[in-house]
Amino acid sequence: MTENIDLIDGRNNITRLMQGTGILLCRLVYQRDCLLRRVDQLIKNFDAELRCLNHYKCKLDIEMKIADLRFCVQLRV
């Protein structure tokens, strides 16, 4: 009779442990998904900022070339 009670208690403990592990696993999966979404958003923001900086650099390059041309024209006169 004691063996049956011990066996039932052992099964109950295993069941509780599995349920706790399942909850922990769900929480970890949720945290992982949140972090992956955050990383994806940071990558997209970085790419957008990089494109803006590249556009600004090209604009400055054009202004520098125009300034050089104006300087060369002034030297000829």
pTM of the model: 0.60
pLDDT tens digits, one per residue of 13-58:
666 766 777 788 888 889 999 999 999 999 999 999 999 999 999 9
Task: Please state, in angstroms and as integers, the Cα–Cα distance from residue 75 to each residue in 12, 47, 63, 70, following that order.
Answer: 93, 42, 18, 9
How many Å is the Cα radius of gyration of the chain? 33
Looking at residue 24, its pLDDT comes to: 81
